[in-house]
Chain A
């Protein structure tokens, strides 16, 4: 009797373990096979789903990719994903990444091309509380300066070095986590903050001194766009080898850029709906935070001064390259040592896409764009 009970128990526990294992197998949906004549295309993002990538999610939701004959799968990135490597390894057809990060990869032999510079302006700032009196890069001298590192620090270092600060001995560099606790606790005097994310995180927090949320009036912001050390950020990267030899990939690239741009135009004109699209795509950011991010990202794109969204401004590109070659970070290294090859960027494909959009009567510069005023709630809810 006792014996059989043990056997039953054993069978039950093993069955439970296997059932769990099997449920792991069955709970994932089958990869969708390409519907009809659509070409499957994979886009690798540089982070999780959030409004920073609203244009691509909007293009999927609004069927802009389908209209161009593309079946686009959006792949999110994890903490250790290097998006450009996915393109180089053929795991993805296109990737979204900051230009300075990719310049380093290109110098190491990764053969990719910036085919559309979606973000014209940089969203990186250095923020501090008013009482620290940090209003320009030179004021960072002798302060506790926060930096994320890992290729997110170059504009900050370029700004400080431009102001004549010795970035090895003139500041105390603090490794910044991906939340603002260190800044709020006073471990960091001036913290790195993206206009569309960390800046909002501070404004979503209750100021213990007043019992209400922090306001923009509590903060000083150093904007690297004003300082002249801004570098190009989110761009669409394509495989340079395939662009050179594969005419199918060339025309697919034009279609992909065209539909993506239409997505971003949709985001410009429908910020609130776009924020909801991103949330529906699986982002768990709070509603007011998501809308704030959508609106701030719009400001980085619109109005476009480079001749239409996605066009790479040669002088901004040259400035990014110059900073990448001359700025040393805390480890004493520069991003690149020589000018990147000609294949590092190309306006060929985005020009074709913009020309097609212009004939369709779409506004590709957004010259009359006016941002929303978003009110953040506590915790971004």
Chain B
């Protein structure tokens, strides 16, 4: 029953968004609302805000008129699948690195003082400076016969954004058990490892799950932006810059990869939600978000 309601409300939200879009397009002035020379509300003409129907019918037309060109939706689906898998690699690396850092910082107070500022600082490096650097260094890396692939650079950048919430969230979680619980463990003469496994890790779950969700969102954003930045072929990021040139003559086309990115985000969120469902028994005290 509640699940049904959730789906219903979700669908309603999407419909509402569509109604808002078309509604504003219908009543808004075609040149937007301009106050003191500043555009405060966007233009409503067909170039700036194409009709939803334009965007959706475009999805079922071929990408180009070349023979054998696939339908736009299938090209976007393929690209979204590629971006999602690269983001998943980035997410996994980010989660592993973030967890390891959190455990290290929980174990050694010195590590926490030494690492935490750098963890925070790492997120202030702009992506556009980082991406070409990673791609450049990566292209000189060889593992024996195997060469560094461009998609690895993108996954690495995604993991760079993904590890941050995990390390901060997990650290907070690992430190969350009450003092008496920790001291109880100590009176039992239980070592640090066992305390970690039986007390700290389970207690960290309520903090970890939102962090995993943030990490998933960050990994997806990191993937798309890094694709744009280094021009990796195959994903939706690259597709966005490719289709931008059609913005005026074929206004429905550039929206397709944006829909693709939205779908990736939803799938990533669903995956994390499934993990949360599996860990339900540890989610005591978590404020439902």
Name A's B-contacting residues (CB within 8 A).
Answer: 6-7, 9-14, 16-18, 20-21, 23-25, 27-28, 30-31, 33, 48, 76-82, 85-86, 89-91, 178-181, 184-185, 197, 201-202, 204-206, 208, 276, 279, 282-289, 377-381
Task: Say if the beta carbon of B91 comes within 8 Å of chain A.
Answer: yes
When the two chains form their complex, are residues B249 and A378 in contact, meaning their CB atoms are under 8 A apart?
Answer: yes
Which A residues lie within 8 Å of B145 (CB)? Answer: 33
How far is the CB of A75 from the nearest CB of chain B, in Å? Answer: 9
When the two chains form their complex, are residues A379 and B249 in contact, meaning their CB atoms are under 8 A apart?
Answer: yes
Which B residues lie within 8 Å of A11 (CB)? Answer: 278
Task: Say if the beta carbon of B266 comes within 8 Å of chain A.
Answer: no
When the two chains form their complex, are residues A381 and B278 in contact, meaning their CB atoms are under 8 A apart?
Answer: no
When the two chains form their complex, are residues A17 and B238 in contact, meaning their CB atoms are under 8 A apart?
Answer: no
How far is the CB of A275 from the nearest CB of chain B, in Å? Answer: 9
A27-B85, A78-B232, A82-B132 given. 8 additional CB < 8 A pairs? A9-B278, A20-B88, A21-B91, A48-B238, A80-B229, A81-B231, A184-B47, A204-B250
Q: Is the interface of B mostly helix, strand, loop or mixed?
A: helix
Q: Which of B75, B82, B238, B274 makes the CB contact (< 8 A) with A9? A: B274
When the two chains form their complex, are residues A12 and B245 in contact, meaning their CB atoms are under 8 A apart?
Answer: no
Which B residues lie within 8 Å of A377 (CB)? Answer: 65
A5 to chain B: closest residue by CB: B278
> In the complex, A7 Cα to B246 Cα: how many Å?
48
When the two chains form their complex, are residues B47 and A21 in contact, meaning their CB atoms are under 8 A apart?
Answer: no
Tell me whether A178 and B275 are in contact in the complex, defined as CB-CB below 8 angstroms, given that A24-B89, A81-B132, A276-B66 are known contacts. no
9 A-B pairs, CB-CB below 8 angstroms? Answer: A16-B271, A25-B89, A80-B128, A184-B47, A205-B249, A282-B233, A287-B66, A377-B65, A380-B246
When the two chains form their complex, are residues B230 and A285 in contact, meaning their CB atoms are under 8 A apart?
Answer: no
User: Which 7 A-B pairs rank lowest in CB-CB distance, beginning with the nearest?
Assistant: A379-B250, A78-B231, A10-B278, A204-B249, A24-B85, A20-B88, A179-B247
When the two chains form their complex, are residues A284 and B232 in contact, meaning their CB atoms are under 8 A apart?
Answer: no
When the two chains form their complex, are residues B88 and A31 in contact, meaning their CB atoms are under 8 A apart?
Answer: no
When the two chains form their complex, are residues A85 and B128 in contact, meaning their CB atoms are under 8 A apart?
Answer: no
By size class, the interface of chain B is 35 or more
Which B residues lie within 8 Å of A378 (CB)? Answer: 249-250
When the two chains form their complex, are residues A286 and B246 in contact, meaning their CB atoms are under 8 A apart?
Answer: yes
When the two chains form their complex, are residues B241 and A381 in contact, meaning their CB atoms are under 8 A apart?
Answer: no
Q: Which of B63, B84, B136 makes the CB contact (< 8 A) with A86? A: B136
How far is the CB of B225 from the nearest CB of chain A, in Å? Answer: 9
B110-156, CB < 8 A from A: 128, 131-132, 135-136, 139-140, 145-147, 149, 151, 155
Which B residues lie within 8 Å of A178 (CB)? Answer: 241, 244-245
Which A residues lie within 8 Å of B242 (CB)? Answer: 48, 283-285
Tell me whether A10 and B45 are in contact in the complex, defined as CB-CB below 8 angstroms, given that A21-B89, A180-B248, A205-B248 are known contacts. no
Which B residues lie within 8 Å of A283 (CB)? Answer: 242
Which A residues lie within 8 Å of B46 (CB)? Answer: 208
Tell me whether A78 and B228 are in contact in the complex, defined as CB-CB below 8 angstroms, given that A282-B233, A286-B246 are known contacts. yes
When the two chains form their complex, are residues A79 and B231 in contact, meaning their CB atoms are under 8 A apart?
Answer: yes
Task: Say if the beta carbon of B181 comes within 8 Å of chain A.
Answer: no
Tell me whether A48 and B66 are in contact in the complex, defined as CB-CB below 8 angstroms, given that A91-B140, A284-B243 are known contacts. no
> In the complex, A116 Cα to B238 Cα: how many Å?
30
B229 to chain A: closest residue by CB: A80
Task: Say if the beta carbon of B220 comes within 8 Å of chain A.
Answer: no
> In the complex, A229 Cα to B43 Cα: how many Å?
36
> In the complex, A380 Cα to B246 Cα: how many Å?
7
User: In this complex, which of A12, A16, A82, A381 has the most chain B Cβ atoms within 10 angstroms of its Cβ?
Assistant: A381
How far is the CB of B71 from the nearest CB of chain A, in Å? Answer: 13
Task: Say if the beta carbon of B200 comes within 8 Å of chain A.
Answer: no
